[in-house]
Structure 1
Amino acid sequence: MKRTSRDIRTANRYEVLRHCFGRPAVSRRELAAATGLSPATVATLVGELAGLGILTEVGFQDSAGGRPRGLVAVAAGHGALIGVDVAETYVHAELFDLALNVVARADRELRPGTHRPDQVVAVIADAVAAVREQGAGGGRVLGVGVCMPGLVDRRDGVSVYAPNWDWHDVPLRRLLAEHVDLPLYLDNPLRACTVAELWFGAARGCDDAVVVNLGTGVGAGLALGGALHRGVTNGAGEWGHTTLVLDGRPCHCGDRGCVEAYVGAPGIMRNLRELYPGSPLLHPDDQTATIAALADAAAEGSPQALDVLRETARHLGPAVADLVNLLDPEVVVLSSWVAGRLGGPLLTEVRRAVARHALAGPGAATRIVLSPIPTDPVSLGAATFALEGALAAPVRA
């Protein structure tokens, strides 16, 4: 898609602002050095962000000679943002201040058989209302970012394809707008997790990174050349639906042998069932309880649980090694709720498996780590999409 001058200005505002997060104050000269933009351009963009109320002047920095340098910081209390993580089994919403500190949280369950668009929309709207009520003193809400599993058309706000729910071309933003009176920005959790890691997590300062989402579904968010890679249709990263085993297990997408069928939560449950039929660790109708039981048992050294993690890593390792060989990233981050819950024991097995399958050069250069972000990275990334939308608005006096 051809970028307009407004698109470029919005991207530059976004880039300047990104380098302000996590710092108490920063000078315009430091921002110019960090972004590669000219000092004059940075001065103009800082003025625009101050006009939007997102940056504020906070004092001066002494210089070796000449005038002191003015310092700016994010005006955290000027407004708020909402990020919503919609997964196959839950909806998690968070309200953030403008410095992207969490102000309020709300969790809602998505029960089996309650995945019709109207049902999911009602749950999302309820979670958004809950965090707005909790954070009523946090300033005006600039927008809501909503991340949906599957393929998403972010421009038109359409859930193009969600295989685990058999959704096709659902006009989700229009349906949500009937219940939520705020600007809405729809996207995919792979993109959200990647942005969260670039801004606040293990990929900060990296040009090339892969964020592997391990949940009910599986995917790989990509950062290439220091920027989020979306692909032509916003569909980049559907690595979970690449073929791992020819004529293997059936997948929700309709194909067989996909990565997701072996390392997503349902796939891990199947690994457990095949290795240890009747295991007390298996909760047949509850992914969350099964993963939690495996994690607790592995932490205690259970041979059953460790066998299941090794079997999972036996499939996940070669699939991650493919990403390492193809993209040669600085870091691969294991993210989302399954990776977070299984934690160190899974990470150890994955590192061993990747070392066996990756080429020596890229394999040695790539770090494989767990996400260090303490909050939900999808909600955090979703909030940055709402912030991006606010930055695209005309500057107010």
Structure 2
Amino acid sequence: GVGASLVTPDAEQGRAVEWGHLTVRVRGRRCRCGASGCLEAYAGAESLLARWREEGGRVPGGTDEETALSAMLAAAYPSGGEAADPVALAVLEETAEYLGAGLSDLINLFQPERILIGGWAGLRLGTRFLPAVRRHAVSYALRHPAQKVTVELGRLGPDAVTVGAAILPLADFFARGGRRPDPVPASPAPAWRTALAERAPR
């Protein structure tokens, strides 16, 4: 999938946003959410591989998405002297533009200081075409907020979501000054419960 998290100085105001379901193409591909033209229908790992297959690409069978995406990147950007797979290359270049257009929406809406791309697929793809994504993001966004934002790869690796979740209880602990939460005072039992207890056979 394709998601985003908005991080603010006040951690409690940060939130997840359904960025992957912004419309990037009217009457476009059907997304797994049921709508048409979502960013995720063009930039998600599953849809990337589907588009490569539909265009005649040789998607390896019997492998997981991570292995298949690595094969697609290797086909588009071969390390040896062999020719690049033009279908894989075209799909990836188009995806870079869709991602850039999607980032421009975030830039225009939230005017962030920094955008970090993460997740196993984002990091795998970003190492190859981050400059193209940046270029498209700037070209589609409003000039003023686009001049103030940087687009980089995250540094926490593919497990950034897990690391972030693990930090939440620590952040809560430190917000309380390292103290355990105060016990919740017991409230008096409602009258109906007391009455039932008194009528119960002994």
Pairwise TM-score range, normalised by the shorter structure: 0.7 to 0.9
Matching residue of 1:296 = 74
Tell me the number of residue pairs that the alignment of Structure 1 and Structure 2 aligns: 174
Distance change >3 Å, CA 253–CA 374, structure 1 → 2: closer
Q: Which runs of 5+ in 1 are unaligned?
A: 1-216
Contact 1:339–1:346 under 8 Å retained in 2: no
What value does the CA root-mean-square deviation take over the aligned residues? 2.6
The correspondence for 1:280, drawn from 58, 61, 70, is 58
Distance change >3 Å, CA 243–CA 228, structure 1 → 2: farther
The correspondence for 1:365, drawn from 119, 144, 148, is 148
Percent identity of the aligned residues? 37
Structure 2 residue 33 is matched with structure 1 residue 249: no
Paired with 1:283 and 1:345, the residues of 2 have a C-alpha distance of 23
Matching residue of 1:261 = 41
Cα deviation digits, residues 25-82 of structure 1 (max 9, x gap): xxxxxxxxxxxxxxxxxxxxxxxxxxxxxxxxxxxxxxxxxxxxxxxxxxxxxxxxxx
Q: How does 1:187-198 map to 2 (within 5 A)?
A: none
Paired with 2:62 and 2:132, the residues of 1 have a C-alpha distance of 25
2:166 counterpart SS class: helix
Q: Give the CA deviation at 1:386.
A: 3.2
2:17 counterpart SS class: coil
Q: Give the CA deviation at 1:283.
A: 4.0
More contact order relative to length (CA 8 Å, sep ≥ 6): 1
Greater C-alpha Rg: 2
1:221 counterpart SS class: strand
Q: Which runs of 5+ in 2 are unaligned?
A: 184-202
Distance change >3 Å, CA 303–CA 355, structure 1 → 2: farther
Cα deviation digits, residues 157-213 of structure 1 (max 9, x gap): xxxxxxxxxxxxxxxxxxxxxxxxxxxxxxxxxxxxxxxxxxxxxxxxxxxxxxxxx
Distance change >3 Å, CA 282–CA 320, structure 1 → 2: farther
Paired with 2:53 and 2:13, the residues of 1 have a C-alpha distance of 37
Matching residue of 2:106 = 323
Matching residue of 1:314 = 97
Q: Give the CA deviation at 1:239.
A: 1.3
* Structure holding more strand per residue: 1
Q: How does 1:30-109 map to 2 (within 5 A)?
A: none
Paired with 1:375 and 1:337, the residues of 2 have a C-alpha distance of 5
Q: Give the CA deviation at 1:390.
A: 5.0
Paired with 2:33 and 2:89, the residues of 1 have a C-alpha distance of 29
Under a length normalisation based on structure 2, what TM-score does the superposition of the two structures give?
A: 0.74
Q: How does 1:1-397 map to 2 (within 5 A)?
A: 217-227=1-11, 229-230=13-14, 236-275=16-55, 277=56, 279-283=57-61, 286-300=64-78, 302-304=84-86, 305-374=88-157, 376-388=159-171, 393-394=180-181
Contact 2:53–2:59 under 8 Å retained in 1: no
